[in-house]
Amino acid sequence: MIAVMIVWSTFYPIIKYIVGDMDPLILSFYRYFLGFIPLTPFFIKELNNRSAVPSAKEVVSISLLGILGVTLFSVGLFYGIKLSTAANGALLTNTQPIFTAILGPFLISEVFSGKKIVGIVIGITGVALVVTGGNFSTLDFSADAVFGNFLLIGASVSLSIYSMLIKKYAVKFGSLIPTWISMVSGSIFIFIINAVRGQTLGQIIQLPVLSILMILYLGIIGTSLTYLAFNRALVNMPVTAATSYKMLIPVSGMILAVLFLGERPGIPTIGGVFVVIVSVFIILKRPRNEASSKRIPTLR
């Protein structure tokens, strides 16, 4: 599980490195296109092994959710990292538990609790520290870095909503089937957007060999293999324990950004990272006498 988290944390410096030479949404398309292809045999096997398969109406609904979980998430993630930093990307796109706690009561009838409210307040404080860099009074909302931070928050919100809405399909059909469908549909939506914008997929052949290898890594290893590994790990450990490992991503992502990109996050940003981690821990932690609810792993 730790290996999966480390792989996911490498996304952010890699994306920051590649978007200097490639349009962010072209990179996003390749990431998911290369991601769903290796998952296809497992998807077909899962369909054959299940007595219940999605109806045409359910396929359409899941496909539309791909706009949230893949397309909008990609816009926020890839453009956000381009304008901001890899370290901020590693933190702000992994704040989903905070936004799930905020939006859950409205979307899936989850109940607010005192513990969740405390976690939300702490989490918002940490996010504010990262977004502003501690400069609350002189914050320039037109600055690229600040706008990029808000795009990263938007990516987290879209993925939170997607995860809540996709859950009923994941419970009914297993996590792989709706994830694969939304990944394919999201890739198609990204392709259409790129076509309308006049961006061509041929950009990849103009990249250095190292960048091409990084793209293959993002799609095949970072998306397909880690998804399968994460699901397998859930079989052998409590779901809340597996989910808590995700708190490693902001820390390791920041360390990698410093080592490989030379980023130098300030003290407010570093403090914000640990404040958010504390808030996520508070939100996810369940009382010992409370049964752990089944949390469905989805896209990230």
User: Percentage of residues in the chain with pLDDT exceeding 70?
Assistant: 88
Question: 99 pLDDT exceeds 90?
Answer: no
pLDDT at 227 (0 to 100): 86
Interacting residues of 89 by C-beta distance below 8 A, sequence separation 6+: 12, 15, 16, 77, 80, 81, 152, 253
Query: Does the predicted TM-score (pTM) go above 0.85?
Result: yes
The mean pLDDT value for 239-268 works out to 80
Average pLDDT over residues 216-220: 95
Q: State the pLDDT confidence band at 54, using cuts at 50, 70 and 90.
A: very high
Is the pLDDT at 109 greater than 80, yes or no?
Answer: no
Half-sphere exposure (CA, 13 Å, Cβ side) for 184?
15
Cα separation, 16 vs 179, in Å, equals 25
For residue 292, pLDDT over 90 is answered with no
State yes or no: pLDDT of 97 exceeds 60. yes
**Which of residues 141 and 99 earns the better pLDDT score?**
99
Query: 53-61 long-range CB contacts below 8 Å, 24 or more apart?
Result: 53/173, 53/177, 54/169, 54/173, 54/177, 54/178, 54/181, 58/169, 59/181, 61/169
**Which residues, 6 or more positions from 223, have their beta carbon under 8 angstroms from its beta carbon?**
31, 32, 34, 35
What's the rounded Cα separation, in Å, for the pair 169 and 62?
Answer: 8
Does residue 107 register a pLDDT over 90? no
Other CB atoms within a 10 A radius of the CB of residue 37 amount to 15
What are the DSSP calls for 176-187, one per residue?
A: HHHHHHHHHHHH
The per-residue pLDDT of the chain, averaged, comes to 85
pLDDT at 236 over 70: no
